[in-house]
Structure 1
Amino acid sequence: IVVPNPDVRGRQEILELYLHDKPLSDDVDVKAIARGTPGFNGADLANLVNIAAIKAAVEGANKLTASQLEHAKDRILMGTERKTMFLSEESKKLTAYHESGHAIVAFNTEGAHPIHKATIMPRGSALGMVTQLPSDDETSISKKQLLARLDVCMGGRVAEELIFGQDHVTTGARSDLQTATELAKYMVSNCGMSDAIGPVNIKERPSSEMQSRIDAEVVKLLREAYDRVTTLLKK
């Protein structure tokens, strides 16, 4: 049995359950937190409240504040800040341009999710990141939205190439390219979003001929996204 993630009303009810015995400051809007946590499941929301409560205890606060809950959400979405990590000025500059590429593409591409936060503070295994959140709960995703995701994935790599030159692009885009490639495969093989392959959902291992056609369509989608983003960032 697959249990879907709660919708905004469900998230609000779960948050109210976990927050009912905790004093809240006047700036806490549980409904707004529920709207701002699409895709969170019950465990995520419990973790959010727990992280916020720990931060409040560390700060000596007797009430949970909106900023503490926002800190908890960012930690779940983006990972733990690594404030003590040393980065050279060159690394900071490269990371800033890389993340700016993602942000500019997200801001200027129809169908892309709104930007939640952009940072060059190292978090988790990343030196920086741009996080996006949908405006509403998603029940289905259009081809336009998936193409927008491809474009956003390409934003960092293209920005590096335009600013520093093709020979100076870094491995920083590795995970972006992996995400984009998996997404393109999903579009072609599972969602019927390739004119050349047609409206099919390929679950079994395809023939070598079909696999070659799928691979060609995946590369085509990725190259087209790269070209669109290059045109956008050159403006």
Structure 2
Amino acid sequence: EAQVPFFSLSGSDFVEMFVGVGASRVRDLFKQAREKAPCIIFIDEIDAIGRARGKNVMMSNDERENTLNQLLVEMDGFGTDLGIIILAATNRPDVLDSALLRPGRFDRQITIDRPDLVGREAIFKVHLTPIKTSQKLDIHKLAEQTPGFAGADIANVCNEAALIAARKNKEAVDMSDFQDAIDRVIGGLEKKNKIISPEEKEIIAYHEAGHAICGWFLEHAYPLLKVTIVPRGTAALGYAQYTPKEQYLYNTDQLTDQICMTLGGRASEDIFFGKISTGASNDLQQITKIAYSMVTVYGMNDKVGNISFYDPAQENYFTKPYSEETGKMIDNEVRILIDNAYEKTKALLREKRNEVEILAKELLVKEVLFKSDVEALIGKRPFEEKKILDIEPE
């Protein structure tokens, strides 16, 4: 578009084992650019050479720092020339050196987030243009069912849906094909040849029913979309899928309900079988992460107080920014938080024991239950779901 020479490089192109090579390549690049000026230089994954200097506890990489220093000089030193525009991209802006981001260097920063509901709907419309789809296809519903999906994920879903419809010799791609495609992108391929014993299948059914019931009867949990005990991918033996709200702020009650909902599977196994399995390992990782964030990042604990030990670059892996005594207190408060949530979850599932059994038995028969099926079995969710306002893009 600009009708000028375009130099495209990766940050790792400057990194070598030989001393001085990185800085030399930066000088050569800018020498070529001055000869071809006006021109544009684009450096992808700039965090490979642009990391903050002098913060690495395992001895700083002098060669990388020399490369960065040379880049800083070329961009805004005494001998710089006009006519060269420098662009760069990274998905780790938090680890970049502050000198790289000051005015005169990369002074204009554009953040590209994952698309929201309106954005996903617009992206679906673009990727569905070459595909023959059913007239009953609800694009808005597809956007609702793909929270957190980037543009590439949506393109992948559309491609998978078209392939699934083609295998079935359909005239057009319909909603069921998109459901299968979303499942495949989220959970991986369906493992039809995986042999699961009846006892294991029953445990999985009660585990997933526990998640579903907690999500159904906890006010701040995400609304259930579907629950399945069909094994997918390398590890998932079943999963419950929800429709997270487009939300940017969370309070203590909401995060606690998220922990309870995630613990629903483990609590259900404990109540109905009197023993627990390894099936909840991923759930435990999630709740541990949430609980530690509540205590150490968001200041949501009375004992630790309004203190945040947020470390986005994870530079304090070996040296924590708090004392050993504070570390013990944090561990203890996290354990108390999770234990209280677990007791709350078990109390809810004991109260709704009948509903858990109804869902688990139906899952063993049908293997997949959608929101409408759950409503038919145990009634509507007692909490009104807040609808997201549709805002037309300008």
Shift, 1:3, TM fit: 2.0
1:73 maps onto 2:182 in alignment: yes
The C-alpha deviation readout for 1:129-155, integer Å capped at 9, x for no partner, is 111112x31222222221111101211
Shift, 1:188, TM fit: 0.8
SS at match of 2:133: coil
Query: Hey, what does 2:278 align to over in structure 1?
Result: 171
Query: Hey, what does 1:131 align to over in structure 2?
Result: 241
> Residues of 1 paired with 2:324 and 2:222: CA distance?
36
Contact 2:144 2:243 in 1 (8 A): no
> Residues of 1 paired with 2:260 and 2:277: CA distance?
18
Contact 1:77 1:131 in 2 (8 A): no
| Identical positions, percent | 38
1:53 maps onto 2:154 in alignment: no
1:197 is aligned, of 284, 292, 304, to 304
Contact 1:39 1:137 in 2 (8 A): no
What letter is aligned with 2:324?
S
What letter is aligned with 2:145?
G
Q: Which runs of 5+ in 1 are unaligned?
A: none
What letter is aligned with 2:238?
G
Summarize the alignment of residues 37-186 of structure 1 with structure 2, pairs less than 5 Å apart: 37-124=146-233, 125-134=235-244, 136-165=245-274, 168-186=275-293
Shift, 1:2, TM fit: 4.1
> Residues of 2 paired with 1:11 and 1:169: CA distance?
39
Q: Runs (4+) of structure 1 moved beyond 4 Å? A: none
> Residues of 1 paired with 2:255 and 2:267: CA distance?
18
1:215 maps onto 2:324 in alignment: no
Shift, 1:191, TM fit: 1.0
Query: When you count helix as a share of all residues, which structure comes out higher?
Result: 1
Change (3 A) 1:131 1:35: closer
What letter is aligned with 2:299?
G
- Between 1 and 2, higher relative CO (CA 8 Å, sep ≥ 6) is seen in 1
Query: Hey, what does 2:117 align to over in structure 1?
Result: 8
SS at match of 1:54: helix
Query: Hey, what does 1:227 align to over in structure 2?
Result: 343
The C-alpha deviation readout for 1:180-233, integer Å capped at 9, x for no partner, is 111100111111111111122103522211111111111011000111011111
> Residues of 2 paired with 1:3 and 1:220: CA distance?
38
Q: Which runs of 5+ in 2 are unaligned?
A: 1-109, 311-315, 352-394
Query: What TM-score does the superposition give when structure 2 sets the normalisation length?
Result: 0.57
> Residues of 1 paired with 2:268 and 2:251: CA distance?
26
What letter is aligned with 2:237?
L
Contact 1:184 1:221 in 2 (8 A): yes
Query: What TM-score does the superposition give when structure 1 sets the normalisation length?
Result: 0.93
Q: Over alpha carbons, which structure has the higher Rg?
A: 2
Contact 2:263 2:345 in 1 (8 A): yes
What letter is aligned with 1:40?
F
1:26 maps onto 2:135 in alignment: yes
> Residues of 1 paired with 2:187 and 2:175: CA distance?
18
> Residues of 2 paired with 1:213 and 1:2: CA distance?
37
